[in-house]
Amino acid sequence: MKKWSEEAWESSEDIYLAILSHPFIKELTDGSLPRECFDYYLRQDSLYLRQYFRVLAHIASRLTNIDFADTFIHFAADGVAVEKALHQSFLKDNPLSEEDMSPGCTLYTSVLLSQVLRPVEVEAAAILPCFWIYQKVGDHILASCRNIEDNPYKEWIRTYADPAFAESTRRAIGICDALAEKAAPEIRMEMTGIYRQCARMEWIFWDSAWNLEKWKI
């Protein structure tokens, strides 16, 4: 029997490939991405992380396995640290409020927050694309950069292709697999469904930045 993570990845590999072919990722890779798009992305990422680390902490509070709970607490703390680093490095002159959240970011965070009443296995699966797809995309960009030193976005690229982030991703996948192994078949199916839905949200997030998405009303 396949691991749940193998099934989840296969169920959404088409979305991952669509992300790699997105112009935001292509131009980020070759360094030609307009700075306006990158700054938009960073601002939305900061707003996203404010909700994401709360979801991570909520999952930690629900997990009965102490080691798993401790891991998610550390994930949440890391999310706070990344959000602070974004402010200090890129956003210190542009304070953000929740009213600045784009439609795409609002949709993604709403999907995550709506899982709080679902089984914890499903809530955990919902956060996994943010780990796994980001890590894979970071690796892809780093491998595809002809000369990373000349890329104006090299610090971002190195962050998500960092071995420490890869290790966190591995641990998150392992926990989801362990939860799925003990879950009823219908819960396992829900886990796969929400994983694919949140993989879509990852594509939407980058597409939103590429198009400088704004509320129409």
- And the tokens for 146? 């002809």
pLDDT band at 97 (very low <50, low <70, confident <90, very high): low
Predicted confidence band of residue 147 (pLDDT cuts 50, 70, 90)? confident
Torsion 89-93-50-43 (CA) sign = negative
Q: What is this structure's pTM? A: 0.93
Determine which of 17-31, 78-92, 110-124, 186-200 has the lowest per-residue pLDDT on average. 78-92
Give every CB contact of residue 130 below 8 A, 6+ residues apart in sequence: 52, 198, 202
pLDDT digits (tens, 9 = 90+) for 153-169: 888 887 767 788 889 99
**pLDDT for residue 50:** 87
Per-residue model confidence as pLDDT tens digits over 38-57: 999 988 988 998 899 999 99
User: Quick check: 132 pLDDT over 80?
Assistant: yes
Residue indicated by tokens 């994930």: 75
CATH of domain 4-210: 1.20.910.10
Domain boundaries, the chain: 4-210
Residue 110 confidence (pLDDT) above 70: yes
CA dist 185 to 34, 61, 179, 191, Å? Answer: 46, 24, 12, 10
For residue 83, name the pLDDT band (cuts at 50, 70, 90): low
